[in-house]
């Protein structure tokens, strides 16, 4: 299969490497002016992944016209702009985790708005960092889609001893969970910055629960919050030094700038909008929003969380 990759960040570059390793022909398309793509062109490396020379590099998206499947791994907020002038017919696989900030839409919904409800779209979600995969550390991930055929074709084409891929069966829950784990990742970083990482256990349990409630209100399966795309991704996001979202939260507390893409920052306003629209309580998402957007005092926010009325856990 000829695979096109749109994106040149660390995840897109890893996916190009992995698709090639899985026996597929690969063309990676990046933006000519992007420093990460310029580095790939000059060195074929991003300091984590080194691309074999049989992977083609291009800055012209039209060079992907012969690809049989196109994987998109870019910033979630850039997806609509990429798809608005789409001229392809190949299935697309969204390897991104987030919600569109202004609309609150899941990324497959953004694709449906741009391309039509019947355009073949899948999502590739779950835990894992390129640094770990390149080191040979395996993990499990999920492919989901409204199309059973597409879901199974993509999963079967990419599962391997390095990445065990499961068929997803809840597109709503998997996308919501994947986006929300980045918000919880920022919360974990805030706790790290305060040297209160013993609270991460409670954060994990209650974070998964509030997303299960939202997922059900949106029409998904509440159990998905406890699957690979949310709870299963916590270790890679709440504890890993490679996690941009965790790093963002930690540096926020330290008063330092984080120049890495932290999707949770862009998704949390969308979660607050969904909470209001569907009358769902999301205290952790609200706390993260209040701290990073309204600059609320973090000690006061945590005190308010602990002062909430006593209730049954489930």
Question: Active site residue: 152, 181, 217, 260, which one?
Answer: 181
* CA-atom Rg of the chain in angstroms: 19
Per-residue H/E/C for 142-174: EEEECCHHHHHHHHHHHCCCCEEEEECCCHHHH
* Cα 56 from chain centroid (whole Å): 25
No. of helices (H) and no. of strands (E), the chain: 13, 8
Residue 6: C-alpha distances to residues 15, 27, 174, 248 (Å)? 10, 9, 22, 25
Give the residues across from 2 on adjacent strands: 25
DSSP bridge partners of 257: none
278 Cβ neighbours under 8 A, 6+ residues apart? 214, 217, 218
Query: In what helix (H) or strand (E) does residue 92 lie, and over which residues does it extend?
Result: strand 92-94
CB-facing half-sphere around the CA of 49: CA atoms within 13 A: 29
39 with 33: CB under 8 angstroms? no
Active-site residue, 21 included: no
Cα angle: 242, vertex 244, 247; to 5 degrees: 90
Distance CA 223, CA 239 (A): 23
Q: Contact at 8 Å (CB) between 229 and 179?
A: no
For residue 124 the two structure tokens come to 């590739």
Annotated catalytic sites, by residue? 181
């Amino acid at each position: 299969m000829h695979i096109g990759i749109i994106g040149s960040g660390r995840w897109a570059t890893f996916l190009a490497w992995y698709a090639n390793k899985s026996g597929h022909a690969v063309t990676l398309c990046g933006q000519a002016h992007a420093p990460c793509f310029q580095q790939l062109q000059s060195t074929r490396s991003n300091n984590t992944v080194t691309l074999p020379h049989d992977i083609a590099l291009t800055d012209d998206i039209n060079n992907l016209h012969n690809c049989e499947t196109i994987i998109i791994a870019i910033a979630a907020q850039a997806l609509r702009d990429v798809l608005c002038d789409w001229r392809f017919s190949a299935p697309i696989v969204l390897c991104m985790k987030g919600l569109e900030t202004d609309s609150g839409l899941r990324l497959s919904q953004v694709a449906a708005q741009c391309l039509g409800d019947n355009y073949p779209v899948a999502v590739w979600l779950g835990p894992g960092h390129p640094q770990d995969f390149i080191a040979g550390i395996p993990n499990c991930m999920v492919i989901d889609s409204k199309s059973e055929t597409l879901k199974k074709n993509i999963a079967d084409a990419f599962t391997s001893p390095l990445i065990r891929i499961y068929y997803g069966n809840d597109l709503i829950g998997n996308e919501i969970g994947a986006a929300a784990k980045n918000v919880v990742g920022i919360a974990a970083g805030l706790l790290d910055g305060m040297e209160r990482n013993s609270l991460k256990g409670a954060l994990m349990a209650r974070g998964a629960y509030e997303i299960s409630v939202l997922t059900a209100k949106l029409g998904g399966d509440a159990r998905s919050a406890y699957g690979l795309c949310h709870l299963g991704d916590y270790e890679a996001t709440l504890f890993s030094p490679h996690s941009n979202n965790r790093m963002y939260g930690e540096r926020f507390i330290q008063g330092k700038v984080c120049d890495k893409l932290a999707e949770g920052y862009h998704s949390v306003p969308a979660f607050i909008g969904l909470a209001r629209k569907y009358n769902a309580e999301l205290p952790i998402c609200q706390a993260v929003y209040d701290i990073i957007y309204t600059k609320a005092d973090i000690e006061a926010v945590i005190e308010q969380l602990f002062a909430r009325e006593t209730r049954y856990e489930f």
